[in-house]
Structure 1
């Protein structure tokens, strides 16, 4: 599955829905920044970031809370990084409020996106403060002082609330 994203104001991005009524488009916003997210074989965005899905569980929903962990990965480390996610324990999928996960390989650049969608922000916080989160991140994660060798820079997190542009 291909995924593409583009940024802009929610007013500008919402016009994409009427231009591409058959596209699987989702909209998310955090204060003044907004993203249009599309799942499908080809992008509908003139300027967008494109990804291949390494792994995914669940269906994206038009409502919820999205957390994107943006992780720069060295070229030679891509197989190791992807293998870790393909062989993960799956603890997140069983958490209360979990809706979807996407492991996204960039078609340009080196920053992977690990996107999780939750029913709400509290469900994400509950996961983040759980033993299953610690178990999932015991080889690498926010508590590790030394980054794994395949990481090629500082990771960063972005968080969004889904927006219904039709109402």
Structure 2
């Protein structure tokens, strides 16, 4: 499945959402910006978008919640390794209270993947980060903290958003 995202002010993004009510566009915001998120096949919902292909997905994106996006630059040669790692993950995140959805997104252009998780609220995400399940899922990563993974094409970074419920 294709995922399209575009940035802008929340007011602007809500107008796009109103223009395409059948598209199920979801709008989210953080302290500095707004983001519109769309899953589907309509390539005309945004004028300027970032396009991703879904590598793995669990759950349905909800109109309410808290979203965490881990942006991970991956080398061309490392794409299969990175994708295989997530396709064969332990799956413990799905059992956590407050979990709503997970998307592993491959960029159509550029090299930065997005691992998106959606939670009922920020407290649910914090509980996951402090859980034994999180520590187990990331123990291999912690063991090699000083050494970048073979697929790495640079430093990763995280963005967090709250969903905007608009009309």
The TM-score with structure 1 as length reference comes to 0.96
Q: Would the alpha carbon gap of residues 163 and 144 (structure 1) be closer, same or farther in structure 2, given more than 3 Å must change?
A: same
Do structure 1's residue 65 and structure 2's residue 66 form an aligned pair? yes
Q: Partners of 2:139 and 2:110 in 1: how far apart?
A: 27
Q: Partners of 1:45 and 1:142 in 2: how far apart?
A: 41
- 1:37 matched residue in structure 2: 37
Two-structure CA RMSD over aligned residues (Å): 1.3
The TM-score with structure 2 as length reference comes to 0.96
Cα shift readout 1:19-58 (whole Å, capped 9, x = no counterpart):
1111021010012310000000233111010000000000
Do structure 1's residue 101 and structure 2's residue 97 form an aligned pair? no
Give the CA deviation at 1:140: 1.8
Count of residues in correspondence between the two structures: 166
Q: Partners of 2:98 and 2:141 in 1: how far apart?
A: 24
Q: Partners of 2:75 and 2:42 in 1: how far apart?
A: 26
Do structure 1's residue 116 and structure 2's residue 114 form an aligned pair? no
Structure 2 unaligned blocks of 5 or more:
none
Give the CA deviation at 1:95: 0.4
Q: Which runs of 4+ in 1 moved over 6 A?
A: none
Structure 1 unaligned blocks of 5 or more:
none
Matches within 5 A, 1:18-167: 18-43=18-43, 44-140=45-141, 144-166=145-167
